[in-house]
Chain A
């Protein structure tokens, strides 16, 4: 009996050692190894990003990975697309971004794929990326700058900061100035108009709209509109009854690029509840680009589009003001030039 119990103890000890040993070695090795890895390639500076993290960024940022569609847009807008070595599966604006190497979804990117691209800087944003991703990348010595835009102005500041980090300060200033100019122009037009009361529909079923503190709410204000729903929750779920009571002037949908036919007024008129809305009856249903929810240069397009649809009278006359909106790469600017040309041709003197 005694001999048996020694044997047993011995066997259990061996098994335990094996069980522990392999992964334990790995674990120990891991934590030691990583400490030695945080040696940046070129001289670095330490900046504080928009969520308060200290990030050590190399002076020369040559390889950039973007973890969100809006950040990819910003990189292209700054003219730095040659330095963009990777983006996410959802990055499709501008279309050239689709050709870049992919690192997965913004919420759950493939860390190894990011590491394989040897980025000098990874761009993240609180609106779609997770803290865990930033933590994990930091742990393996990759610099992650997280932006945290809450307002349109904040977004402009953010663009300026990021441009600075990537060594494109001048381009950044220029882009921000252009965008600001366009925004100011819109503001100038709609400033003396009454605010349009709109219902911004994030989702139809169940009916979800936006809260006061969201980015979209701020964008709406720039376009001369205001949400009829006042809420501190970011994505409040409301009932159609409430909307019927408030009777907004316009219903605004933000749809995917190719899906703009989804909200035909005719469809809405057939639906119970929606029928009772004055806005539906009068056909005041607006579909704008989903860029309105994205802190990127395309947002300004969306704001202009929305402002134009909400306050058509503010934009109908004074074609000159339109051309002042400035040249840009975006669709609206091109439209405006065409529009002015038409006007001038039709107003043949």
Chain B
């Protein structure tokens, strides 16, 4: 059960009221979901009531071990599924009630990989992010080019503009994919385990970039991850999920409690808390 009130969060119970704050981007209220697993012997998967919010310029982590329901939350946020009960709102409107194009204008789901069938230039790829604006059969306007150029700049990929997509390195490609999402000019950026295939340097670089985007460009970024320390270091808020249940929502300091984390991640852990610094999680020494 989510219990933000327990930790004296300023958002508290007011979160359940109608959205009034202009900075509130995402509001998830008591959202539930369930689906039958394809294998008959496995039980139905239930995503218990989840409640949290995210605001402008915030970087939020949906944190939890495998099969905790993180991807399901992401699907609800992206409007790919409708919650069984409760609400998932963006800028005050139910996500699932938006039509595809409007949804694409507000929410950008950033993929990890891009399998291209035919060769494409970087700028062509990024320009595709402008699709949700304008008619179905459209030719890009100068405004579109402007947005695309900005998006490339925001991820420091301007120099890659004329390169072929299949000739980019992994990191470069990821930046370009991110740029396309940014070209959508969304309110919300959703990323599903973006650090999965990156090395440590890559992971840090990505999170730094996301942090910068949130701070400077005022995006709201939601990242699904299981990386405890990265989440702690870069995120404003953590939504901790465990077996479909929302265990806790709050700042890293509020969420990272040793017993809780050990229970959720089923591993012997130590949580290091220092004054004025974000908590850090380590494996406990095993005897």
Contact = CB atoms under 8 A, between A and B. Distances in A.
Interface of A: 1, 4-5, 8
B39 interface: no
A1 B134 contact: yes
B41 interface: no
A1 B143 CA distance: 8
Contacts of A8: 139
A14 to B, nearest CB: 15
B141 interface: yes
Contacts of A5: 135, 138
A5 B141 CA distance: 9
Q: What is the size category of the interface that chain B forms with chain A?
A: under 10
Nearest to A12: B137
Nearest to A8: B139
A8 B140 CA distance: 11
8 contacts: A1-B134, A1-B141, A1-B143, A4-B139, A4-B141, A5-B135, A5-B138, A8-B139
Contacts of B143: 1
B158 to A, nearest CB: 25
Given A1-B134, A1-B143, A5-B135, 5 more contacts: A1-B141, A4-B139, A4-B141, A5-B138, A8-B139
Nearest to A11: B139
A83 B141 CA distance: 72
Q: Label chain A's interface by main secondary structure.
A: helix
Nearest to B140: A4
A211 B220 CA distance: 82
A5 B140 CA distance: 10
Contacts of B141: 1, 4
Contacts of B138: 5
Contacts of B135: 5
A62 B245 CA distance: 98
Nearest to A3: B141
B204 to A, nearest CB: 40
Interface string B131-160: 000110011010100000000000000000
Interface string B103-141: 000000000000000000000000000000011001101
B135 to A, nearest CB: 7
A309 to B, nearest CB: 68
B79 to A, nearest CB: 26
A5 B133 CA distance: 13
Interface in B44-66: none
A165 B257 CA distance: 108
A49 B40 CA distance: 72
A12 to B, nearest CB: 9
A155 to B, nearest CB: 61
Nearest to A1: B141
B137 to A, nearest CB: 8
Nearest to B134: A1
Contacts of A1: 134, 141, 143
A1 B138 CA distance: 10
A308 B134 CA distance: 88
B148 to A, nearest CB: 15
Nearest to B137: A8
A8 B134 CA distance: 13
Nearest to B144: A1
Contacts of A4: 139, 141
A5 B144 CA distance: 14
A307 B178 CA distance: 89
A5 B135 CA distance: 9
A13 to B, nearest CB: 14
A8 B139 CA distance: 8
A5 B137 CA distance: 10
Contacts of B134: 1
A136 to B, nearest CB: 40
A324 B141 CA distance: 96
Nearest to A7: B139
Nearest to A4: B141
Contacts of B139: 4, 8
Nearest to A2: B141
A59 B135 CA distance: 67
B105 to A, nearest CB: 15
A5 B138 CA distance: 8
Nearest to B139: A8
A8 B143 CA distance: 16
A2 to B, nearest CB: 10
A8 B136 CA distance: 13
B61 to A, nearest CB: 38
B13 to A, nearest CB: 45
The 3 closest A-B pairs by CB, nearest first: A1-B141, A4-B141, A8-B139
A5 B139 CA distance: 8
B145 to A, nearest CB: 12
Nearest to B142: A4
A90 to B, nearest CB: 49
A8 B135 CA distance: 12
